[in-house]
Amino acid sequence: MHAVRKSWLGIVAIIISIFVFLVPFSFIILTAMKGKNEAGFLSFSWPTEFHLWDNIVEVIQTRNFMLVTALINSTVLTVASVAIMVLLAAMVAFVLQRRASKWNGLINFLVLSGLIIPPAVVPTIWVLQGLGLFKTLGGLILVEAAFGLSFCILLFRAFISTIPREVDEAAIIDGAGSIRLFFQVVFPLLRSVIITVIVVQSVAVFNDFTNPLYFLPGDENATVQLTLFNFQSQFDTSWNLLFTNILLITIPPLVMFIFFNRQIVAGMSSGAVKG
Amino acid sequence: MLLHGKRRTAIALTASIGALALVLTGCSNSGGSTTADGKVALSFLTDNAPANVSLAEGLAKDFNASQDKITVKVETRPGGSDGDNIIKTRLATGEMTDIFLYNSGSLFQAIAPEKNLVDFTNESFADNVMDSMKPVVSVKDKLYGVPVGGAFAGAILYNKKVYKDLGLTVPLTWDQYNANNDKIKAAGKTAIIQTYKDTWTSQLDVLGDFANVLASDPDWATKYTENKAKYATDPVAMAGFEHLQEGFDKGYYNKDFGSATNTDGLRILATGEGVHYPMLTSAAASIIADYPDAAQDIGVFATPGDDPAGSALTTWFPNGLYVPAASKNVDAAKEFIAFAASTKGCDSETKAIGVTGPYLIKGCDLPADVPAYVGDLLPYFNKDGGTQPALEFLSPIKGPSLEQITVAVGSGITSAAEGAKQYDADVKKQAQQLGLSGW
């Protein structure tokens, strides 16, 4: 009886996930295969003529191979800013959690205000200009890292509080300095939460639209989300090319997910049990 | 073992810091203003509408070929309110491209031209700009922009083939228009196409009717700005809202008007399933691009009013090209502007996107073989008083919620009188924000 109900639930879950994930994705693929006029109907139908290859070629060639530049830029942006977030957030969270001091209240307040206070565009640009980082990928990496850091610190702090202090003490007794204590003892223990942070923040940074739009102007600086606007404008949208572009920029994260699927799931579930 | 671990950590740390430094510095080429071959490099920002991108790229290509000191490179930005924000942000931070394309009229006034833009008043090419265009790219007699592309109108696009098949004639008054609508409906076709998925398309009945308002009172726009004329109290002005309600009440609209998009509307018109579409004439260019067979079937007439002699056409001025005051290459940018504001510039535009409407540069003639809808526009432009500017070029007030209100009126949710009243209230907020006197 119990087993029957369980398999029932499983089937329902599979059907729901088909509707939520596979139907939209197949719609993207179908529309990407159509010609412009047919795609304009936005209907869920089998294409009458196949233009997938033409569409792909056109999308890649648009505006001097902007998509290729954009994929490189987005990869560098995502990898670098997520690396900064993971490293800095883990360090901050470790110190905040393990060493109580009178500054903790203020630091916690600053971390929280990073979550609460919305970022302002013009002052941020002014700061970047002052540092000579405006219109550079480095500047945007720092912006993304700054905006994501608060959230990551909170995640890491909550996780570090579950690691027994005895682990630290044992390492210190064995002669580990503070740097080694962090990098060789604590950091590896954070694996599951690191994977969570990487997944969540990579998706956020890779899909970010407004920050690149304002902080990294210029065609040579485009990121993938900005390339969508080559085909979608206020009055006229080429749905076939737009969906082909979506398809092309969805592939890299998808491939990543397929390759690291095991680690991600293992990391998250081990985190769930521990936390 | 211990030592080994320590060194490895140290190496890893150094490597990651090094990689970061590389990323941070390596990409910070700020794109100097001269290219390797000693030419001045100019950047040119346009919005991402396909027609404007082709237009900008055509101009840049022909300008680059016409001389050997300057190269212009085109960049794109989104349109709509995102685009407005980008323009304002980049101007405010001094990071605007050397040349940019942006709306004329009230949006142009909103970017503080006196502070942000280069004054063209004393340039030789300023004389090439037609007098009718000058007010919409000027502040207090100082010219800050030149027109790019052709003028267009807010009018009714119609399918000439269906008109011929049903033996209809172009209506001069609203009653004749309705008589045509009845015949079209009786023939089993959609009389009027409405596409409320793209809410902006719902405004054309009201905005395109403005020439009729001006015909009844030439000072209407001034009175409107001074809070003396209102849509709700002026029966002529309210006609635009009433027309929308009437179309719904009489069942002239396509069945899926609530969920149809602008693209759908243009397709229905091109295929002849629908016959009238209140629209900007610039949209006809995309019919020609997508349905070349229907190119000669699409015509235009001005939104009809009560005058038996026919109405004037409500026209929109083309976008302007501007140079920001913060540009480091103002002189080179002016050379490009001079090219764009010359007959060579119009020729280049025609080559890039074809003719979409009359040019507002002196001496720019249209080629003989224009698309049918442009042919329909020309008599209005050639006649004295045949065209009237849209309200947004005569008054700074345009309420932000007009499109939501017109959708509600056109869907039969709100009555015309109620909609006009709502719009007056919407406008009041904006006038107060602008700090106009009398509100």
Put simply, the answer to whether A135 touches B27 (Cβ < 8 Å) is no
Put simply, the answer to whether B30 touches A237 (Cβ < 8 Å) is no
Of the candidates B47, B49, B137, the one whose C-alpha atom is nearest the C-alpha of residue B83 is B47
User: What pLDDT score does B34 carry?
Assistant: 62
Q: For residue A226, tell me if it sits in a domain.
A: yes
- A119 Cβ under 8 Å from any chain B Cβ: no
* pLDDT tens digits, A82-114: 999 999 999 999 999 998 889 999 999 999 999
Put simply, the answer to whether A236 touches B49 (Cβ < 8 Å) is yes
Which A residues 209-228 touch B at CB under 8 Å?
Answer: 213-214, 217-220
Put simply, the answer to whether B28 touches A183 (Cβ < 8 Å) is no
Kindly tell me if the per-residue pLDDT of A275 is higher than 50. Answer: no
- A229 Cβ under 8 Å from any chain B Cβ: yes
User: What pLDDT score does A205 carry?
Assistant: 95
* Spatial distance between the Cα atoms of B221 and A132, rounded to a whole number of angstroms: 48
Q: Closest approach of chain B CAs to the CA of A88, in angstroms? A: 12
* Spatial distance between the Cα atoms of B265 and B258, rounded to a whole number of angstroms: 11
The gap from C-alpha A253 to its chain's centroid, in whole angstroms, comes to 9
Q: Closest approach of chain A CAs to the CA of B7, in angstroms? A: 11
Q: B interface mutation test: which of A136, A186, A235 has the most B CBs within 10 A? A: A235
- B262 closest CB neighbour out of A122, A217, A235: A235
User: What pLDDT score does A272 carry?
Assistant: 52
Which B residues 79-108 touch A at CB under 8 Å?
Answer: 79-80, 82, 85-86, 89-90, 92-95
- A61 Cβ under 8 Å from any chain B Cβ: no
Of the candidates B210, B105, B113, the one whose C-alpha atom is nearest the C-alpha of residue B154 is B210
- A136 closest CB neighbour out of B27, B263, B283: B27
Based on its alpha-carbon atoms, the radius of gyration of chain A, rounded to whole angstroms, reads 23
Name the amino acid, one letter, at A54: D
Cβ-Cβ contacts under 8 Å, B48 against chain A: 229-230, 232-233
Cβ-Cβ contacts under 8 Å, B50 against chain A: 233, 236, 238
Task: Determine the 3-state secondary structure of A114 from DSSP.
Answer: helix
Distance (Å) of CA A198 to CA A21, A79, A115, B108, B190:
22, 9, 18, 44, 54
CATH code assigned at A234 = 1.10.3720.10
Q: For residue A31, tell me if it sits in a domain.
A: no
Cβ-Cβ contacts under 8 Å, B21 against chain A: none
* Spatial distance between the Cα atoms of B31 and B428, rounded to a whole number of angstroms: 46
Q: Which one has a higher pLDDT value, A186 or B106?
A: A186
Q: How many CB pairs under 8 A join A and B?
A: 114
- A188 Cβ under 8 Å from any chain B Cβ: no
For the purposes of burial, counting CB atoms within 10 Å of the CB of B266, is it exposed (0-12), middle (13-18) or buried (19 or more)? buried
**Intra-chain end-to-end CA distance of chain B, in Å:** 81
Beta-bridge mates of residue B156: B278, B301
Structure tokens at B177: 């228009």
Cβ-Cβ contacts under 8 Å, A216 against chain B: none
Q: Does the ipTM surpass 0.85?
A: no
Cβ-Cβ contacts under 8 Å, B78 against chain A: 213, 229, 233
Distance (Å) of CA A109 to CA A29, A105, A113:
46, 6, 6
Q: For residue A9, tell me if it sits in a domain.
A: no
pLDDT by 10s per residue, chain B, length 439? 344 545 555 555 555 554 444 444 443 333 445 666 778 999 999 998 888 999 999 999 999 999 999 999 999 998 888 888 899 999 999 999 999 999 998 889 889 999 999 999 999 999 999 988 998 999 989 999 999 999 999 999 999 999 999 999 999 999 999 999 999 999 999 999 999 998 989 999 999 999 999 999 999 999 999 999 999 999 999 999 999 999 999 999 999 999 998 889 999 999 999 999 999 998 888 888 888 889 899 999 999 999 999 999 999 999 999 999 999 999 999 999 999 999 999 999 999 988 888 999 999 988 888 889 999 999 998 888 899 999 989 988 888 899 999 999 999 999 999 999 999 999 998 899 888 888 8
Put simply, the answer to whether A138 touches B95 (Cβ < 8 Å) is no
CATH of domain B152-316+376-434: 3.40.190.10
* Spatial distance between the Cα atoms of B149 and B102, rounded to a whole number of angstroms: 12
User: What pLDDT score does B251 carry?
Assistant: 94
Put simply, the answer to whether B48 touches A230 (Cβ < 8 Å) is yes
* Spatial distance between the Cα atoms of A8 and B14, rounded to a whole number of angstroms: 54
Tell which CATH architecture fits domain B40-150+318-365. 3-Layer(aba) Sandwich (3.40)
Alpha helices in chain A (DSSP H): 2-17, 23-33, 36-39, 52-98, 104-116, 121-131, 137-160, 165-173, 178-180, 187-189, 191-206, 210-215, 224-227, 239-274
Q: Which one has a higher pLDDT value, B383 or A274?
A: B383
- A108 Cβ under 8 Å from any chain B Cβ: no
Which B residues 133-152 touch A at CB under 8 Å?
Answer: none
**Angle at B300 (CA atoms; ends B130, B173), nearest 5 degrees:** 105
Distance (Å) of CA B434 to CA A27, B106, B116, B390, B429:
45, 12, 19, 20, 9
Put simply, the answer to whether B20 touches A80 (Cβ < 8 Å) is yes
B355, B372 contact by CB (below 8 A): no
The CATH 3.40.190.10 domain(s) of chain B lie at 40-150+318-365, 152-316+376-434
pTM of the complete model beyond 0.95: no
User: What pLDDT score does B18 carry?
Assistant: 47
- B43 Cβ under 8 Å from any chain A Cβ: yes
Put simply, the answer to whether B76 touches A133 (Cβ < 8 Å) is no
User: What pLDDT score does B22 carry?
Assistant: 45
Which residues have C-beta within 8 Å of that of residue A170, sequence separation ≥ 6? none
Report the sign of the C-alpha dihedral through residues B423, B425, B429, B432, in that order: positive
Q: What is the mean pLDDT of residues A130-153?
A: 94
Place of tokens 């340039």: B123
Q: How many domains does chain A have?
A: 1
Query: Could you tell me the pLDDT band of residue A248, with boundaries at 50, 70 and 90?
Result: very high
Name the amino acid, one letter, at A235: F
User: What pLDDT score does B30 carry?
Assistant: 38
Q: For residue A38, tell me if it sits in a domain.
A: no
Put simply, the answer to whether B30 touches A136 (Cβ < 8 Å) is yes
Put simply, the answer to whether A180 touches B9 (Cβ < 8 Å) is yes
- B199 Cβ under 8 Å from any chain A Cβ: no
The gap from C-alpha A150 to its chain's centroid, in whole angstroms, comes to 15
Structure tokens at B119: 């004054």
Of the candidates B353, B327, B289, the one whose C-alpha atom is nearest the C-alpha of residue B99 is B327
Q: Closest approach of chain B CAs to the CA of A220, in angstroms? A: 9
Task: Determine the 3-state secondary structure of B175 from DSSP.
Answer: helix
Name the amino acid, one letter, at B60: A
User: What pLDDT score does B49 carry?
Assistant: 86
A25, A227 contact by CB (below 8 A): no
Q: Closest approach of chain B CAs to the CA of A138, in angstroms? A: 4
Q: For residue A131, tell me if it sits in a domain.
A: yes
- A169 Cβ under 8 Å from any chain B Cβ: no
Beta-bridge mates of residue B47: B77
Q: Strand B146-148 vs strand B142-143: parallel, antiparallel, or unpaired?
A: unpaired
| Boundaries of domain holding A90 | 70-274
Put simply, the answer to whether B25 touches A138 (Cβ < 8 Å) is yes
B281, B260 contact by CB (below 8 A): no
- B282 Cβ under 8 Å from any chain A Cβ: yes
Distance (Å) of CA B195 to CA A69, A161, B1, B264, B363:
37, 56, 73, 8, 38
